[in-house]
Structures are given as structure tokens and as C-alpha cells.
Structure 1
Amino acid sequence: MNKKHLAIAVAAAFYGSQAVAVDLYNEGDTTFSVGGHVSVGLGGSEEGETEVKQVSPRINVSAAQDIGNGFVADAKGEWALNYLEGGEETFTTRLGYIGVTHKSYGRGVVGTQWSPYYDGAGIADLPIAFANDFLYDDQGPLGTARAERMISYRNTYSLNEAGTFSFGLGWQGTTTGETLTTNEIPAEYDDRFQIALNYSIMGFGLNYAYNTGDVKTATLDDTALSHMFSANYGTYGDGLYVAVVYAMNEYMNNGLEESIAIEGLLAYALPSSLNLSVNYESVEDDKNNDTIFSQMALQAEYNFTPSFVGFAGYQFDLGNDINVPEDDMWIFGMRYYL
């Protein structure tokens, strides 16, 4: 691969958000770009009020430079935007890392980044309005999506006509001052490790990931771990796309001792740029055989231009066994990519 093209492609290949950016500087072996999106919608639910909502807006800056001998260095900073309320929380960190990539030796990254676990677990986390929840609930410090203070390594090997094989490794050190998100319970985490494997051929992908680390709270001192299996076919936004994620967890979902998390996505993009999808998600307390939540959403996205997308979705609450009131949700809005 041409080194300059490799430098430009680095940022697009290794994070979960859609890679739309504008080059502010592109000279020789160095690039600098700004990206992200502004997303707003009108939404409500059976239990809540109808209001204007922001839908995960963010802004980012990226730079890449050829540093010789086939290596390309890159850096990225990304911040969530709270432009409806502002104040001290107007900008909060989503990503911040430095990476080095070689087409033969692979890629290493240090900082807050999308994790190797998410490479396989996030394949259904794609629709704008409603997508994956269980990867984010109480799991930020465990690196199931964005992983803070992580060191990671990835590499891909071509098997010629037999497809490609990829793997990723991730490590996070001991941290204190964290909280279990749902209940804001103070927590401490020892070293955390993860490994992710992928095999791809003819549009099909198979994934496995293992994630583990010790977690301690006032009432818990145990090892959190997850075995994640997933499969997908196609490209989201280009014809047929199918993805299924199945995770067997211990102390990963809302502190449950044993849980099963499932996510499925079926989408079809028409030549007119209308993308229709249905997704399903549930988390089960496997030890007590209780449904923590289950939901299904019907969604549509339409690309008026490559940078301007309209979207709408209705999410059905399919019920639970923990006496939480059911709450169907809906939203429609627009997203403008910077």
C-alpha cells in the first residue's frame, strides 16, 4: 500500500464511529483532519415527555504521518458535545490515543480507544436511533466498547482465497475511583485483559472475544469475564446486512453474577439510499432465569447527501421480570457529518 494512502486510512480502520472527515492539511506524508457529526431529533416515550434530543454528537481531530521504514504514526482526539445544555459538561472525552501502524507488523495503540472486544461485539451497534445498550451499561472500565487507558495490538493476515484472519489484544492497568454506571457504586478494577479473533471470507465474518478483570465494590470482590461470539454478513448501508452477537458474562451486566446478552440486526439498504432495519436486544439474568430487559426497534435512515442523513425509529419494550414499567420509545431527526 502507498504510504501516504496508508496514513489516511489508519484512522478510518480502527474505531467504531463512521469515518467522515475533512482534510485541513494534506502535504507530503502528513495529514490533519476534522470530523464528527451534529445529531438532533424529536423523541419521546410512553413514560416520558416529548422533547428535542441530541443523538450522540461528537467532534474529533485526527493526524497521521509517515515516520519511515513502513511505519505510520497517528493521533486522534474525540469529544462528545452537549450543545443543548452546555455548561461545564459541554465537552467530554470519548477518544484520545496515539497509534503506530505497519502493513506487516500490525498496529499498536495507547490511550482511550475502541477496544478489540468491540471489533466483534459492535457489529450490530450501527443504527442511529436505537442500537446496542449492553456494551455500555456498567462496562466502560471493562473495555467492552470504548476502553480507557488501554494498550492494544492488532494484526491481520491474508489467507489468499481462503479469506483473512485477524486478532487483537488489549490491556488496561489497575484503576480506582471508577463507578458501576447504573447505580453509581464506587468500584476498583485490577489489571484487565482481552483478546479478539476474526475470520472473514466472501462477505461473511466470524468473531470471538474474551474479556476479563477483577472488580471490587463494597459488596463484590470477584472476577468479571465475558465470552463473546458474533457473526455478520455484508456491509451496513450497502444492500443486505445481517449481524448477531451472543455474550456469556459474569459480573459484566449490571453486576449480575451470570448473564446472557443478545443483539441482532437485520438491515437492507435500497439503491435510493433508504436503509431499513430491525434490531433486537436482550439481557437475561442466567442464574435466576429473569429477563432484565428485552427490546426491538424498527428504523429507517435516508442519505439526502453523503453528509446529511435523516433517521426515524420506534423501539418496542418487550418486557422484563424485574418489575420495571414497560416504556416504548420513538425518535426522528437528522445527522450532519462534519
Structure 2
Amino acid sequence: MSKKIMFTTIALGMFVSNLQAKPTEVLKISSFKTLLLKKDNKKQVKRDTVKVKNNQKITIYGSLRPSITYRNDRAKKIESLDVTDFFSRLGFKAEQKIDKNLTAFVRGEWDIDVEGDADFGDARLGYAGLESKKWGRIAIGKQWSPHYNIVAEVTDVFNHRSSPFAYDTQSPFRTNNLVTYRNTLGNFKIDTGIQINGDSGSTNGGVTDDTYGRSYVDAAMFGVGYTAKSFYLATSYLTDEDANGIKRDIFAFAGSTTLFKKLYTAINYQNINIKNDAGLKLDESTLDVAAVYSFNKSYNVKTSYFNYDNGTIDGNGFNITCEKRFNKSVRTYIEVLNYNDSDKPAITNVSVGLRYDLSYKVL
């Protein structure tokens, strides 16, 4: 037997003998590895927990919209030139992931009164809620009305504060004391809400103030929209009653489509019935038709025709806007708005303005 074979045989024998003589040490090594794995698992679980706890997003955003407006009020025979503001605002929104399926969120937003002392004005939004990937979203506070989200947003394409112009005369925008539920099921979206002891209007800056000033309003609204590749169809119903017993029912529908990737068109129509205990009955309606043509990423032309009937007075008008976009945040525009009621001459506004949108992620 050679020396190499002999030494190899002796070494193998010592190794086997060592394994047989000390099984407890092998067990100790195995137990130690198991302990390390458990510690690593605990650390990983802890890290995952920390990630969930720290998974918070906070964004500060705003939009400054000053303009210079020439106004020719033929009814009052007044011409004026003044600095105006198309709802400049500043706000924040935040969300905190509770687990992989549930997220809490909050949002607050306030006017910046550029046409006055540039101070903070009315609260536009203020709400909090929970969102689940499976069950949808519920929110409580002052927020965009589900009725607006479903039928009016498609025609709200202008920089002017009263867009969409016919809808603005008597319909809800941001609504206080509101509880909403929203969900998306495939191509369908559902948006519904209940208002409890709220107000019917806010500082929307509309053409008329037919419904503003109503208090202690209880309202319910439900809307559903269907979205496909190039078009959108929707309908919504709203009913409310205020402290004076005035009841209002609004049935509305909307649609929009994009043609040739350049021309966007949209329409919303409302039929409004108002009555009270004293026998008052009004049959009202609003119609907004809007179009946006994009020549390229920089230049847009926007137009609209609108018509409203408040049961006693008819009104109509048009808007033409030429817009230059420098980038996603900055644009300038010149806008002509003309409207008139059946009982008075037309009013024309010509505005030249700048719009600067900002968004900054804090976390």
C-alpha cells in the first residue's frame, strides 16, 4: 500500500470516527444555523413592518392663475379693466399605507386671492378617507361632488373660473358635509355620495347664483360612467332638500370622445326639477358642448357653446380660448367669454392670463 493511499485511509477513518464520536457537535451546528435563520426571518419581518409603517406619501401642490380681464357689461353700461383670478389655489395631499390592501388618505386645499390681497381665501377641499384595492374608496368632508365627477368634469376644460358655463349656473361643484363612495369595476366607475346638513353652493364664481344661499341641505347622488379606449359615457342622478322645503331633482348625462388623437369633444346635459311645499314648480335645464383641438404639444384651441334655462330666464353663450403651453407646468392664454340672458344684453369678458401649476413630493 503506498503512503498516499495509507494516509488517505487514515484521514477518512479519523473523519468517520469523529462523526460517530461527536454527534452532539453536529447537532449544535445544525441548531445554530436554524437559530440564525429564525433571526434573519424575524429581521426581515421587522424590516417589512417598518416599510409599511414608513410608507407615507405627502405632496404639496398649487396652481397660480392670475389674469387681466376686460369686461363689457352692456346691461349696466359699464366697461372695466382689472386684475382677476381664476381660482388660484394651494393644497396638500397625503396617504399612509396601512397594509398591502388598505390605504388612509387626507387632502386640504385653499383659495389664494390673487385679485385681492393674495391671502388665503375659502377652503376648497378638506377630507379624509380609506381606500381598498378590493372594496373601493370612502371619504368624509368637503370634496368634489360625485355628480360633478361623473357628468361635468368632461366639459371643464377651460381656465376660466365658471367652466363649464351652463352647468355652473345651478349645479354642485365642491360640496361640504359630504360622505362619498367610489369604485372601479372593469370599464365602469361608480361614484355616489350623501350630504348631511350642508350648503348647496360655494364661491364658484358662476354666471348666476340661482342655487347659492341654500342651507341645511340633505342630498343624495349616484352616478355611473363607462370608459373605453376613445370615448366615455355617463349618467348621474342627484336629489336634495333644504331647510325651506325646496326640493331639487337633477338627472344628467355626459359623453366625450377623442378623434384622430387631436380633437377632443364633450357634452353634458341636465334636466332639473325644483318644487316646494307652496306649489312652486320649475323645469330647468343646462347644456354644455366643448371641443379642444391640439395642433401639437404646445398649442391648443378650446371652444364651447352653452345654454341654460332656469325656468323663467333663458341664457346662452360661447367661449373661445387660445392656449400656449411651454411645458406641463406653465401656460399662457387669451380667452373670450360671451353670455347673455333673455332679459338683458350680453356681457363679454376678454382675459389674458398665466397659469403655473406646481407639485412637490415631500415624502
Say if 1:244 and 1:152 are closer, same or farther in 2 by CA, change over 3 A. Answer: same
Matches within 5 A, 1:253-264: 257-264=282-289
Q: 1:73 aligns with which of 94, 104, 109?
A: 104
Q: 1:320 aligns with which of 341, 350, 363?
A: 341
Amino acid aligned to 1:259:
E
> 2: CA distance between counterparts of 1:80 and 1:124?
22
Residues 200, 217 of structure 2: 8 Å contact kept? no
Say if 1:261 and 1:109 are closer, same or farther in 2 by CA, change over 3 A. Answer: same
Query: How many angstroms does 1:333 deviate by?
Result: 1.0
Please name the residue that 1:228 is paired with.
252
> 1: CA distance between counterparts of 2:202 and 2:294?
40
Q: 1:38 aligns with which of 64, 75, 89?
A: 64
> 2: CA distance between counterparts of 1:151 and 1:267?
33
Count of matched residue pairs: 290
Please name the residue that 2:290 is paired with.
265
- Bigger strand fraction: 1
Say if 1:199 and 1:178 are closer, same or farther in 2 by CA, change over 3 A. Answer: closer
> 1: CA distance between counterparts of 2:178 and 2:252?
19
Please name the residue that 1:131 is paired with.
163
**Counterpart of 2:157 in 1: which secondary structure?**
coil
Residues 175, 190 of structure 1: 8 Å contact kept? yes
Matches within 5 A, 1:1-338: 28-47=54-73, 48-86=79-117, 90-120=120-150, 121-129=152-160, 131-139=163-171, 144-158=172-186, 164-175=187-198, 182=209, 187-217=214-244, 221-234=245-258, 239-251=262-274, 257-286=282-311, 290-291=313-314, 293-317=315-339, 319-321=340-342, 323-338=343-358
Cα RMSD, aligned residues only: 2.7
Query: How many angstroms does 1:190 deviate by?
Result: 4.3
Residues 177, 198 of structure 2: 8 Å contact kept? no
> 2: CA distance between counterparts of 1:176 and 1:277?
32
TM-score of the superposition, structure 1-length normalised? 0.78
**Counterpart of 1:251 in 2: which secondary structure?**
strand
**Counterpart of 1:50 in 2: which secondary structure?**
strand
Query: How many angstroms does 1:280 deviate by?
Result: 1.3
Query: How many angstroms does 1:84 deviate by?
Result: 3.4
Query: How many angstroms does 1:149 deviate by?
Result: 1.2
Residues 252, 268 of structure 2: 8 Å contact kept? yes
Amino acid aligned to 1:248:
N
Residues 256, 285 of structure 1: 8 Å contact kept? no
Task: For structure 1, list consecutive stretches of 5 or more residues without a partner in the other structure.
Answer: 1-26, 159-163
Say if 1:257 and 1:274 are closer, same or farther in 2 by CA, change over 3 A. Answer: same
- Bigger helix fraction: 2
Please name the residue that 1:14 is paired with.
none
Query: How many angstroms does 1:125 deviate by?
Result: 1.0
Cα deviation 1:238-294 (Å, max 9, x = unaligned): 722111000000239xx98211100010111122421111111111145x5x41x21
**Counterpart of 2:153 in 1: which secondary structure?**
helix
Residues 62, 76 of structure 1: 8 Å contact kept? yes
Say if 1:184 and 1:100 are closer, same or farther in 2 by CA, change over 3 A. Answer: closer
Residues 83, 90 of structure 1: 8 Å contact kept? no
Say if 1:42 and 1:199 are closer, same or farther in 2 by CA, change over 3 A. Answer: same
TM-score of the superposition, structure 2-length normalised? 0.73
Amino acid aligned to 1:202:
K
